[in-house]
Amino acid sequence: MDGESTIWTEKYRPKSFEELTGQEEIVEKLAAFVKQRNVPHLLFAGPAGVGKSTLALVVARSLFGDKWRENFLELNSSDERGIDVVRVKVKDFARTKAIGDVPFKIIFLDECDALTKEAQQALRRTMENYTATCRFILAANYSSKIIDPIQSRCAVFRFRPLSAEQISQLVDRIAKQEGVSIDPKAKEALVAVADGDCRRLTNILQSCAALSKHLTPETVFSLASVASPAEVKEVMASALKGDFIIARGKLLDVMLRYGLSGLDAVKQIQQEVWNLQIDNRKKVALIDKCGETEFRIVEGADEFIQLEALLAQFVVAGQ
């Protein structure tokens, strides 16, 4: 299958423990659970695109083999987040016996930090009552949003973003299989833009490959809606020199060219502050101003006025 006829995130999704990239400690423990056919309730916590859903599917495939679909229920809690989902769908599936020679069924609740508190309270009783016939795998970006009684019933695994080296290896593997050539600088851009998110990486790679079989940094940054770090540095350098009008013009040009929102611009500026050749105390002060600007934009302030105010702080820091 070529890149145009399939979604790469599904095409390159691992089907077994051996195919998984990253999260080695977690994979090792889960493989041991599966080998003993004794999986506890699990809570996967961590950022997006690091393998939580994939690992839940791998556990189900490894446990149930060809009958994994009949014994596995996947629900996305951000779509169905009310108490009725737990009382009806989850409970109906949990109370029935597993099909085939398997000890229990698995219910996978993705993005369960979106469940209401009432639904979580109902879920904790369901988890307790149907342990004999069903195990739960919960996935959340923020484990702090899951109530303590549920956390205490689960073995908690905290996922980390993939390292730059792991992302780089994945880029090489996909590029080889899809017949795409990638500049060394474009590869660096992909690693930087992905920021440890495997799903984001494959989506950007597929978008770039649809345009050209030869990837350049410009293609990567434009399709990822991320400005080139060099251009962001240029904006900040102009502001530090005291050229406020020039810095403002450059920032506006970068935002329009790459389709950046005010929040995107602030986040990229914050990331590049640490690479500036200025005093560390000034860096910390500018990071503080980035945080303040981001908060004001989120609260509804005009983003262009706030970005101008942020650039003004850079001018002050450079004097």
pLDDT in tens, 25-35: 898 999 999 88
User: Is 85 or 55 the better-scoring residue by pLDDT?
Assistant: 55
Show the tokens assigned to 128: 């307790």
User: Is 292 or 91 the better-scoring residue by pLDDT?
Assistant: 292
* pLDDT of residue 275 exceeding 90: no
pLDDT of residue 77: 66
61-89 pLDDT, tens digit per residue, is 888 888 888 888 888 866 666 676 667 77
Residues 38 and 153 in one domain: yes
Q: Which long-range contacts (CB under 8 A, 24 or more apart) does 164-168 make?
A: 164/191, 166/21, 166/22, 167/191, 167/194, 167/196, 167/198, 167/201
What's the angle, vertex CA 172, arms to CA 167 and CA 174, rounded to 5? 95
CA distance 313 to 100: 66
What global pTM score does this model have? 0.79
In this structure, what CATH number is given to the domain that contains residue 136? 3.40.50.300
137-167 pLDDT, tens digit per residue, is 999 998 899 999 999 999 999 999 888 888 8
Backbone phi, then psi, for 76, in 5-degree steps? -100, 115
Residues 245 and 312 in one domain: yes
Q: Is residue 11 part of a domain?
A: no
Q: Is residue 1 part of a domain?
A: no
Beta carbons within 10 angstroms of residue 62's beta carbon: 19
CA within 13 Å, CB half, 305: 5
CA separation, residue 315 to residues 112, 124, 301 (Å):
44, 54, 21
Residues 255 and 193 in one domain: no
pLDDT of residue 2: 42
Rg (CA), the chain: 23
Q: Is residue 6 part of a domain?
A: no
Residues 151 and 206 in one domain: no
Q: Is residue 2 part of a domain?
A: no
In sequence order, which residues have a C-beta less than 8 Å from that of residue 73 and are 6 or more positions away? Answer: 89, 90, 93, 105, 106, 107, 108
Query: Which band of pLDDT confidence, cut at 50, 70 and 90, is reported for residue 132?
Result: confident
Domains: count for the chain: 3
DSSP, collapsed to helix, strand or coil, labels residue 157 as strand
